[in-house]
Amino acid sequence: MPLEGNWINMKEKALELLKKRKFAELRLLLNDVSPMDVATMIEELDKEDMLLMFRLLSKDLAAETFVEMDSDNQEMLISVFNDKELRAIIDELYLDDVVDIVEEMPAIVVNRILQQADPETRNSINELLKYPKDSAGSIMTIEYVDLKKDMTVEEAFNRIKQVGVDKETIYTCYVTSKNRKLLGIVTVKDLLLADKTTTLDKIMTTNIIYATTLEDKEVVAKKFEKYDFIAMPVVDKETRLVGIITVDDAVDVIQDENTEDFTKMAAMQTSDDTYFKTPVWKQAKNRVLWLLILTLSAAITGTIITNYQTAFAAVPLLVAFLPMLMDTGGNCGAQSSTMIIRGLALDEIRVGDVAKVILKEVGIALLVGLALVLVNMIRIKLMYNSSPLVSQLMIVVGLTLMCTVTIAKVLGATLPILAKACHLDPAMMASPIITTIVDMCTVIIYFGLATKLMDVIPSI
Amino acid sequence: MPLEGNWINMKEKALELLKKRKFAELRLLLNDVSPMDVATMIEELDKEDMLLMFRLLSKDLAAETFVEMDSDNQEMLISVFNDKELRAIIDELYLDDVVDIVEEMPAIVVNRILQQADPETRNSINELLKYPKDSAGSIMTIEYVDLKKDMTVEEAFNRIKQVGVDKETIYTCYVTSKNRKLLGIVTVKDLLLADKTTTLDKIMTTNIIYATTLEDKEVVAKKFEKYDFIAMPVVDKETRLVGIITVDDAVDVIQDENTEDFTKMAAMQTSDDTYFKTPVWKQAKNRVLWLLILTLSAAITGTIITNYQTAFAAVPLLVAFLPMLMDTGGNCGAQSSTMIIRGLALDEIRVGDVAKVILKEVGIALLVGLALVLVNMIRIKLMYNSSPLVSQLMIVVGLTLMCTVTIAKVLGATLPILAKACHLDPAMMASPIITTIVDMCTVIIYFGLATKLMDVIPSI
């Protein structure tokens, strides 16, 4: 039993067999490796060896390995495949995987794929390509087992055995009417536990949770999370069954949405590719827009500061507290906005909860603020005890800190909910924007208080 | 067919039937609703109605609904259940769910649950409770279908029919030896497509990817993502099969890990509960530690500033650019660290890639930095054209900006990888810490350059 600990050994052995050109042995060895691992191994080879090893794989394994490869390598392989090889791969693949591959390929490769697909497959690919990028239709497969409600359990099993080989999942089967309307769901478990002569209408579940083709795929993925499905039917506007989504695709959507949130929360535009596959100029492009917006907003804070030149001309020490006040405000805002953005994403917080959230954040701000003020008071007292202004400084910095923390927490909690209420993505309202806004408030409050409360500074 | 659009209507109808005490009708209606939705509905009721409605549910539905409820409500229901009711629920539940529930309950409730469980279940619960919190063992279930390798396909089906009712998944079955060693995997699909008289050793897959009981559950969840499993076997040190993990639990782990990363990246300690269920004092506690560390670190930046009092006493305008420089540095660092932390989490970036990453980030820093410098030069020129210091300011701010962006990008990229190399969580090295470090560098460079390059400032 080649267990996973042996994976490294197996890889070495495979590479050695390849080097020694012992293809029969290599073929046997590879048949025991999972497609994902074959793909990882094969992709590290140079072009010729890659093709050589790929051609050693059995038909099934070749197709499954192909799916797991990276689109550049897929394109390279397609370019060296002869028509027969390409046709064999397309025949073996699930339709939704073919569509995923087609979406990444340049037009010339797409044409070759469509030419080699049989007419029925070609039509299906074209149909699937029409669904919008973020829709349930774009991630569904049309390969499912459909049954009729007057079939017996035995007939159902016969049909599954007959058509099941090519289907992505056979464990959930769909009962449809003559005009393809979805009537019910029967699982193989139901079938196994029922009597052979029972008709499906007696055992099918009619309480169906389904997706519609144009529904947002994120919403669909959340239903998988909530209801613990392994597959979910997709219907069109007339509730006709057009496809199914399987849990592995839902997991991919969940991870993509998480990556998108991480990216947006750090003030970047999202990239469809991985870090290394996104070229430097594109990374720069994704990042620069928000940086420019934020740099110009920060300039406003700078302009506000220039209005208070007299204040820090009189007490230069005031400037020394700016980084602490601004950083703390930014961090407090980041904490709150992160909690709220994540809560909204997981449906734990809703727009209607805004008052409850604000109340909670004010509570947290008071506690956290008190701790921060206390620690900073002690620090100021210790560091600047010799200065005649020490008590005035403590009051001004302490009051500002308390205000900053409260404003940061309230803004960090409110803005993401506000974005959601306006049908914008709450992840936009994260640390960078909130920091910029809180900075302005902090500077105004800080120098405002200093001007009012410190006797050495002439009021402006 | 009560489709999802009708869910609101159904809920209203159910509440009306409850109000009118039409229990027979209500029972019929509830049988058609999914457990998750029954739980949502029932949890909005007051205690008495909740119990009333819960008692109307069929045995299966009651158990499945119970799992979906929140632990406070579970505790409340257990406290009013009589022993028979409690026993019925425990009997119906999957063991891993019982364990999840037990983990949330106070000791007195746990004792009652263990008393009502049959001795075998009690032993199993106790076994499962022993696995560490983050281990594969803690999320596995011990209810799987095990088969022997000399069984025929027909015998296998008979066994599945016989034991399958209570198993969480029957679609992947496990072939074990006499001493419970895992020999192979057979799916129901394999069984359906094979001849009745074939023995399992002919059709089972022996190339098994499995988890071990003490493996980190995050690593296991990643395997689900990578290999698109719906279930995965868990073995002990002697490769004896002890349980299985199903994909729904893996999805929960993935989401929990994401939440943990979001939380850590915003300088917070993680909470096991949702936003609203974590009380204010606990939220404050989770947030204050990092805030205190960061506030004291920011104080160092403040102290550095005081060393340059002569600089901004001579040119007060210098202070006006501090927020822009510090915020931009923070934002650039946040962007890079987010990309790298996410890439590490998804295994797209590895520790060995550090040189490649740094090179890439320097490239991005140059492009982004140039754009930022250009825009800021224009802004300074427009805003301060009347000042005799305008060109010197442009040089000092521009150079500092370029250095800050580069330092921020390089630190943001390097520190998470360094953390990973030291077996720490890369998510720690996110925006807040990087901002604080970059701030110090920025202040030193900025005032250093100003002191050197501006003739009005006496060198220190």
CATH code of A106's domain: 1.25.60.10
Distances (CA, A) of B373 to A62, A100, A194, B369, B395: 52, 41, 73, 6, 10
CA B171 to chain centre: 27
Residue at A262 is within a domain: no
Q: Are residues A204 and A310 in the same domain?
A: no
CB-based contacts of B115, cutoff 8 Å, min separation 6: none
Q: Give the CA-trace dihedral at B17, B22, B28, B33, to 10 degrees.
A: 20
pLDDT digits (tens, 9 = 90+) for A255-304: 999 999 999 998 888 888 888 888 999 999 999 999 999 999 998 999 99
Binned at pLDDT 50, 70 and 90, residue B228 comes out as confident
Residue at B311 is within a domain: yes
Torsion sign over Cα B286, B288, B291, B296: negative
CATH code of B151's domain: 3.10.580.10
Q: Are residues B310 and B231 in the same domain?
A: no
Coil vs helix vs strand at B331: helix
Q: Greatest CA separation found in chain A?
A: 97
Residue at A136 is within a domain: no
Q: Which range, of A9-13, A194-198, B67-71, B83-87, averages the lowest pLDDT?
A: A9-13
Residue at A119 is within a domain: yes
Binned at pLDDT 50, 70 and 90, residue B459 comes out as low
Residue at A141 is within a domain: no
Q: Are residues B286 and B410 in the same domain?
A: yes
Report residue B234 as tokens.
Answer: 């868990």
- The overall average pLDDT reported for chain A is 88
Closest CA to A176 of A150, A207, A155, A203: A150
Q: Are residues A335 and A444 in the same domain?
A: yes
Chain B residues with CB-CB distance to A427 below 8 A: none
Residue at B253 is within a domain: no
CB-based contacts of B161, cutoff 8 Å, min separation 6: A192, A193
Q: Are residues B162 and B26 in the same domain?
A: no
Residue at A446 is within a domain: yes
Q: How confident is the model at residue B450, as a pLDDT?
A: 92
pLDDT at B3 over 60: no
Q: Is A292's Cβ below 8 Å from some Cβ in B? A: yes
Contact A98, A114 (CB under 8 A): no
For residue A178, the enclosing domain spans 146-246
Residue at B268 is within a domain: no
Q: How confident is the model at residue B94, as a pLDDT?
A: 82
Q: Are residues A185 and A310 in the same domain?
A: no
Q: Which range, of A299-303, B109-113, B374-378, B411-415, averages the lowest pLDDT?
A: B109-113
Q: How confident is the model at residue B2, as a pLDDT?
A: 41
pLDDT digits (tens, 9 = 90+) for A26-62: 888 888 788 888 888 888 888 888 888 888 888 888 8
pLDDT digits (tens, 9 = 90+) for B155-207: 999 999 888 877 878 889 999 999 889 999 999 999 998 999 999 999 998 88
Q: Is B372's Cβ below 8 Å from some Cβ in A? A: yes
Q: Are residues B120 and B30 in the same domain?
A: yes
- Number of domains observed in the structure of chain B: 3
Q: Are residues A422 and A338 in the same domain?
A: yes
Instruction: Tell if the CB–CB gap between B375 and A292 is shorter than 8 Å.
Output: yes
pLDDT at B103 over 60: yes
Instruction: Tell if the CB–CB gap between A334 and B431 is shorter than 8 Å.
Output: yes
Report residue B11 as tokens.
Answer: 């809920």
Q: How confident is the model at residue B458, as a pLDDT?
A: 66
- The overall average pLDDT reported for chain B is 88
Closest CA to B302 of A383, A321, A385: A321
Tell me how close the Cα of A411 comes to any Cα of chain B, in angstroms.
Answer: 15
Asked if ipTM goes beyond 0.85, one says no
Tell me how close the Cα of A245 comes to any Cα of chain B, in angstroms.
Answer: 13
Contact A103, A186 (CB under 8 A): no
- What is the residue-wise DSSP string for B51-98? HHHHHHS-HHHHHHHHHHS-HHHHHHHHHHS-HHHHHHHHHHS-HHHH
Q: Is B317's Cβ below 8 Å from some Cβ in A? A: yes
What is the average per-residue pLDDT within A71-81? Answer: 87
CB-based contacts of A274, cutoff 8 Å, min separation 6: B343, B346, B348
What is the average per-residue pLDDT within A1-17? Answer: 69
Q: How confident is the model at residue A7, as a pLDDT?
A: 64
Contact B161, A193 (CB under 8 A): yes
Binned at pLDDT 50, 70 and 90, residue B1 comes out as very low
Instruction: Tell if the CB–CB gap between B306 and A320 is shorter than 8 Å.
Output: yes
Residues 349-368 of chain A with CB under 8 A from chain B are: 349, 353, 356-357, 360, 363-364, 367-368
Contact A278, A444 (CB under 8 A): no
Residue at a domain's end among A63, A96, A131: A131
Residue at a domain's end among B135, B159, B190: B135
Q: Are residues A346 and A410 in the same domain?
A: yes
Residue at a domain's end among A107, A131, A155: A131
Q: What is the pTM of this model?
A: 0.82
Torsion sign over Cα A155, A158, A163, A165: positive
The side-by-side arrangement of strands in the sheet containing A231-235 is A211-212, A231-235, A241-246
Q: Are residues A318 and A406 in the same domain?
A: yes
CATH code of B416's domain: 1.10.357.20
Tell me how close the Cα of B324 comes to any Cα of chain A, in angstroms.
Answer: 5
Q: Are residues A151 and A120 in the same domain?
A: no
Report residue A454 as tokens.
Answer: 């410190």
Suggest the residue from B226, B322, B397 to mutate for an interface test with chain A (most A CBs closer than 10 A).
B322
Q: How confident is the model at residue B417, as a pLDDT?
A: 96
Q: Are residues B130 and B161 in the same domain?
A: no
| Nearest CB to B292; choose among A1, A319, A375 | A375
